[in-house]
Structure 1
Amino acid sequence: MHDIRFIRDNPAAFDAALSRRGMDAMSSDILAIDAERREAIQAAETAQAEANKAAKEVGAAKGRGDDAEFERLRALVAAKKAEIADLNDKAKALDDKLNAVLAEIPNLPADDVPDGADENDNVEVNRWGTPRDIKNAKEHFEIASVQSGFDFETAGKTSGSRFVFMNGVVARVHRALAQFMLDVHTEENGLTEVSPPVLVRDEAMYGTDKLPKFAEDSYQTTNGWWLISTSEISLTYTVAGDTLDEADLPRRLTAHTLCFRSEAGSAGRDTAGMLRQHQFEKVEMVSIVHPDQSDAEQKRMLRCAEDIMERLEIPYRTVLLCTGDMGFGARRTYDIEAWLPGQNTYREISSVSTTGDFQARRMNARFKPSDGGKPQYLHTLNGSGLAVGRTLIAVLENGQQEDGSITLPAALHPYLRGKSRIAVDGTLA
């Protein structure tokens, strides 16, 4: 949510930032609603003062025995009460209208975010590892040793397209990856593990900028709950309506959950394999911080995600997203893209974003400065640490051997009882 006071004071800057997002100027329309709303509020306050004054004079008129004046003042008070009610209703309607408009406007990009139209204009900021030269590299679902571990046919019969049954060693390596990520984040990166609900209310979706604009991207149950598309929603909303002590910051959380996305608008993309699924698992990182620390915290979170990649020996590159490719609520986003030999390209495996106070304003989440100053809005950040299914794909494809077996990264060996590879027959060895 945007600060209306910022728009009042900086309309040209607001419109310029929207232009970087590819949007038309909106400040004049927004400020017209705001002016009408403020006018209604002021008129209601004036009418209330007049009603209060008249109410005091009613008693005096009655005491003087001035029946005509008494009746006039009584009628005036009644009329003012009706006028006040009408003005308050008008102000409330205009306030709702203003908030509805603001809720549909994406976050403003940080100054250092590159301008651009789409992913082709993203800027690479880091690259790690050298992709192996794998002769006749296959995609994850084609590798001989794990081919039977991906059952799309049964999933299609059970649930439809974009679902998968993972069986045997594939399911086990998938589970090991999530456990490994959680252990690193909790034991080394200072995050607190949470097991949150995956069903949330409208307020949580709205507060984390998923509603109203992106309702079609999510699943809603018949009794109104939403299935989360990321545990960012559950974790970030834990501070909704709260005023934290500055001494309690930063608050760093992580969770491994199921996630659900309708993949609206993605028809025909990545239909083979499990790269783009309706149901998937992710280890998420969320930080709730002092505004002065949010930029540094984003870099810290990015490094946490990159470190997971390096420990798993997955070549990757990190890109700073341009204005045209950045998510609705983000102020700045870095994507980590894993090298997938089967596709001969890099694909997103993690996004690490700062939203500034954009989500905090929607949730009314604040903190009390330790110096006793006025409460301020918190800053919130989120990042994948990592998407478990996509990490599985990267581990399998980068570890594939010419005979169809797979060498597994050393970081996973302790989670697989010391096993280091998937043999051609699909067993751990």
Structure 2
Amino acid sequence: MTARRSTPTALTLALALSAVLLLAAAPAPARAAPKAETVAHGLVNPWSLAFLPDGRMLVTERPGRLRVVAADGRLSAPVAGLPPVVAGGQGGLLDVVLDPDWRQNQRVWWSYVEADAADGSRNGTALARGRLDPDSQPPRLSEVQVVYRQQPKLGGALHYGGRIVFDRQGRLFLTLGERFSAKDQAPKLDNALGKIVRLDTEGRAPADNPLTGRSGARPEIWSWGHRNPQGAALHPRTGELWTTEHGPQGGDELNLTRGGRFFGWPEVTWGRNYVTGTRIGEGGERADVEPPLLWWGPTSIAPSGMAFLSSERYPGWQGSLFIGALRAQALVRITLDERQRPVAQERLLQDLGERIRDVRQGPDGWLYLLTDSPDGRILRLRP
């Protein structure tokens, strides 16, 4: 598992804090401000964006609707065939991604909040797939199958996670929050609360998962000790999973999420209790805990969707990581060095005053964003 490190001294912790705050305060380079142009509007709390090969887009609305969006911004009627969605609080219809073999199977995948079959007061994150016909009237899903369900299901409406990412082997990652009320379950390996799981396309644990064969551990677990990871992307060069995570006050994180690692929550975190300001757990570091690449403090930004920029559309930005920020109402650009470590960041589009929920690079190389509001928009970022 995690290689042990020497116990940090007060000085090393102070230096780590100073480095992160310096990174957070790094000035933006002098350039004209990017412009966000509206591609579509009238979406109710859109959560995720995916691109069809013909230029159309799929967008989830958190209340439980999936839309097909034409290149000119026209919204389809809601896609038929979705299973029932529990919408409320942070819950609802969440991520949507195309299958890597879309051209052969027309399959899409989505995450959503599902009620417990025996007790409707309990719910949890679920992963489903189906075959999409975007040209029928209305667009329609068929062959729908729920392939994974978070266990146990709990009451409440917070901390669902829900991001889906396919790796280069055709397996998929699903991020799962600890549901807020059960944070003490995040370090334990016998449940799916506060975890990132790695599955095959039938919802089973691949044999090469890090906990396969470990007594008392769920074999689908990839990493554990997470709070509410709502952003995820594969690094385009290394193929490794990077995630963003909502922490407590001043404890939001950017993580290189390698398998078999414990990420600390709630035993180790840089964040503090929102109400009292008191420390949570043992502080920010421990030898058996994987440290974040970057954390935001003393104020949280509420990081959500993320994307690495591989195109050359934006001079000087190729290779940067872009993260949507909800509380900070900004698009955060992080500069990485040759070793792929964060070295600087800047906040863009703060003048919009919009919560940025998702960030995707389109097939045309432009960055597309979703704004989280009752009149949510798809935006295209122009340099």
TM-score normalised over the length of structure 2: 0.26
Q: Which has the higher strand share?
A: 2
Query: Whose RCO is larger (CA < 8 A, sep 6+)?
Result: 1
Which of the two has higher C-alpha Rg? Answer: 1
Q: Which has the higher helix share?
A: 1
